Amino acid sequence: MPRVGKSDPLRGGYVTGFLGGGHALRMTMLDETGDWPSAFFFAHEETDLASRAVDAGWRILYAPELLLQHPKTSPARHAVYFRVNARNRVWPARRRLPFPLVPVHLGVWLLLTLARNRSADGLRAWFGGFVEGLREPAGERRAMSWRTVWRLTRLGRPPVI
Structural contact between residues 52 and 91, judged by C-beta atoms closer than 8 angstroms = no
pLDDT tens figures, 68-84: 777 787 776 676 889 99
Task: For residues 32-41, give the mean pLDDT.
Answer: 87
Instruction: Please give the mean pLDDT across all residues of the chain.
Output: 89
d(CA 48, CA 38): 11
pLDDT tens figures, 115-151: 988 888 889 999 999 999 999 999 999 999 999 999 9
Task: For residues 29-56, give the mean pLDDT.
Answer: 91
- Say how many CA atoms lie within 13 Å of 25 toward its Cβ: 21
**Considering the chain, what percentage of its residues have pLDDT values greater than 70?**
93
Nearest C-alpha neighbor of 128 from the set 68, 73, 77, 80: 80
The pLDDT assigned to 42 comes to: 82
* Threshold 0.85, pTM exceeds: yes
* Residues making up the chain, counted from first to last: 161
The pLDDT assigned to 113 comes to: 93
| Residue 11 confidence (pLDDT) above 70 | yes
Choose the weakest-confidence range: 13-17, 26-30, 70-74. 70-74
The pLDDT assigned to 2 comes to: 54
The pLDDT assigned to 7 comes to: 65
The pLDDT assigned to 12 comes to: 87
d(CA 138, CA 97): 12
